[in-house]
């Protein structure tokens, strides 16, 4: 037992500190082991694989940067990139267009506002795969709900096949994702709205600022940081979209809905070009790191000019 008489305090403390040094490492060892084996090693391994022709069976062959040259000339990869960008832009605009009014709606102190928040948030906690399955049924032409209900209401003559053309299938997926994600963005924006001191809005009101003016010149600038955060989460999430295209349209009419992750999945686990898939992964990883860096910058801008 380490006695703690006042005279011996110093050496004992030093001994205990050295003792606790490796004890602290012991506590974090399981977490570090998992992160190293299932995260750091795979990332390094991805880089290594991307320099090889790596079939599923048989031995990998070193080919240098050929996978990257191939990527630059790969029309299907370019179109996957283009589609992912298009999807990210549209879905982010759609989510914000719905989530911002919702956040303002549930910010007021009214009765049942807690219930509204909870209900709007419900789709967030179910999986994207479940949500995609649910909506692929709702959108089905013969057995679903949306088309037949429109027909029953007399709005259309014939139940529309929503998933058959690119535009209507894309629109259906956007509606599904907004339904699934808007509650999440709403809560993030709500925290920003609630952080605005009510005295400020009150003062602006007394000074004669209209509702739109208060929103434009007070609420929006004060929420810059929150909006940036919600934007980043939405953008990075959308770039990694896979489930909805795989489940709802299997890549879409004429393979026009292949996102980047979907293309990597196809190259790696359908065609088994593991090396090329790894090179594509590195490209995706680079894109996301660039966005993360931009994210930090964007958040810092929010701090400089509150």
Partner 1 sequence: MTLSKMNRSNMSLSSRRRARKAFRAESTYHATGVAIALFFLAPFAITLLASFRHGTEARLPPLPPWPANGISLDSYRSLDTFGAGVWQHTFNSLLVSLATVALTVAVSVLAGYGFSRYRFPLKNVLFVLIIATLMIPFQSILTPLFIILARLGLNNSLFGLTLVYVTLQLPFSVFMMRNAFDAVPKEIEEAARIDGARDLKLLFRVLMPLVLPGIATVAIFAFLNAWNEFLAALVLLSSNEKYTLPVLMMAVRAGRLGAVNWGAVQAGVAVMTLPCLVVFLLLQRYYMRGLMAGAVK
Residues 231-290 that bind partner 1 (CB under 8 A): 236, 240, 242-243, 247, 261, 264-265, 268-269, 274, 277-278, 281-282, 284-285, 288-289
Distance from C-alpha of 277 to C-alpha of 279, rounded to nearest angstrom: 5
**Per rule CB under 8 A, is residue 155 in the interface with partner 1?**
no
Token readout for 196 is 């605005």
Task: Compute the Cα dihedral for 139, 142, 143, 146 and give only its sign.
Answer: positive
Does the protein bind partner 1 through residue 65 (CB under 8 A)? no
Q: Which residue, 217 or 269, has its beta carbon nearer to partner 1?
A: 269
- For partner 1, the closer CB: 164 or 203: 164
46 binds partner 1 (CB under 8 A): yes
Q: 34 or 220, CB closer to partner 1? A: 34
Considering only 152, 164, 294, 301, the residue that binds partner 1 (CB under 8 A) is 152
Helix axes 128-138, 166-194, angle to 10 degrees: 130
Torsion angle, CA of 125/129/132/134, rounded to 10 degrees? Answer: -70
Residue 51 binding partner 1, by CB under 8 A? no
The tokens of 246 are what? 């795989």
- Residue 27 binds partner 1, judged by CB under 8 A: yes
| Shortest CB 138 distance to partner 1, Å | 6
Q: Is residue 104 within the footprint of partner 1 (CB under 8 A)? A: no
| Cβ within 8 Å of residue 88, ≥6 positions away | 235, 238, 239, 241
User: Footprint of partner 1 on residues 6-25 (CB under 8 A)?
Assistant: 17, 20-25
Distance CA(50)–CA(67), nearest Å, equals: 7
In angstroms, the CA 87 to CA 99 distance is: 18
For partner 1, the closer CB: 20 or 213 = 20
Listed ranges 45-53, 72-80, 87-95, 207-215: which one lies at the site for partner 1 (CB under 8 A): 45-53
Q: How far is the CB of 22 from partner 1 (least distance, A)?
A: 7
Pick the closest to residue 52 from 71, 65, 69 (CA basis): 65
What's the closest the beta carbon of residue 110 comes to partner 1, in angstroms? Answer: 6
Distance from C-alpha of 285 to C-alpha of 264, rounded to nearest angstrom: 12
Residue closer to partner 1 by CB (options 9, 203) is 9
Do the Cβ atoms of 47 and 282 come closer than 8 Å?
yes
Q: Per rule CB under 8 A, is residue 28 in the interface with partner 1?
A: yes
Determine which helix (DSSP H) or strand (DSSP E) holds 52, and give its type and residue range.
strand 52-53
Quick check: 118 binds partner 1 (CB under 8 A)? yes
Single residue of 57, 72, 125, 155 touching partner 1 by CB under 8 A: 125
210-229 residues near partner 1, rule: CB under 8 A: 226, 229
Token pair recorded at residue 80 = 């996957």
What separation in angstroms does the CA of 142 have from each of 149, 154, 162, 185? 11, 16, 11, 33
Provide the minimum distance between the beta carbon of 91 and partner 1 in the complex, in angstroms, as a whole number: 17
CA distance 301 to 281: 30
Q: Is 200 in the site for partner 1 (CB under 8 A)?
A: no
Is residue 74 within 8 Å of residue 249, measured between CB atoms? no
């Amino acid at each position: 037992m380490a006695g703690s008489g006042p005279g011996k305090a110093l050496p004992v403390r030093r001994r205990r500190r050295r003792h606790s040094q490796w004890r602290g490492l012991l506590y974090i060892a399981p977490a570090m082991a998992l992160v190293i084996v299932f995260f750091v090693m795979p990332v390094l391994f991805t880089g290594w694989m991307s320099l090889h022709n790596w079939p599923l069976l048989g031995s990998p062959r070193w080919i240098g940067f050929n996978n990257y040259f191939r990527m630059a000339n790969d029309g299907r990869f370019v179109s996957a990139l283009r589609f992912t960008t298009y999807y990210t832009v549209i879905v982010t605009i759609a989510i914000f267009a719905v989530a911002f009014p919702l956040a303002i709606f549930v910010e007021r102190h009214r009765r049942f506002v807690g219930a509204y928040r909870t209900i709007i948030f419900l789709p967030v906690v179910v999986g994207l795969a479940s949500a995609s399955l649910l909506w692929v049924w709702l959108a089905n032409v013969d057995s679903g709900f949306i088309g037949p209900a429109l027909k029953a209401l007399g709005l259309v003559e014939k139940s529309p096949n929503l998933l058959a053309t690119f535009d209507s299938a894309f629109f259906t997926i956007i509606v599904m994702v907004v339904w699934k994600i808007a509650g999440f963005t709403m809560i993030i924006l709500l925290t920003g709205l609630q952080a605005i001191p009510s005295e400020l809005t009150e003062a602006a009101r007394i000074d004669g600022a209209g509702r739109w003016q208060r929103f434009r010149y007070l609420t929006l600038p004060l929420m810059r940081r929150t909006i940036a955060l919600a934007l980043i989460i939405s953008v990075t999430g959308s770039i990694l979209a896979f489930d909805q295209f795989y489940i709802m349209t299997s890549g879409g009419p004429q393979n026009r809905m292949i996102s980047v992750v979907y293309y990597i999945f196809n190259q790696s686990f359908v065609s088994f070009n593991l090396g090329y898939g790894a090179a594509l992964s590195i490209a995706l990883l680079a894109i996301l790191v660039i966005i993360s860096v931009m994210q930090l910058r964007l958040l810092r801008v929010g701090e400089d000019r509150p």
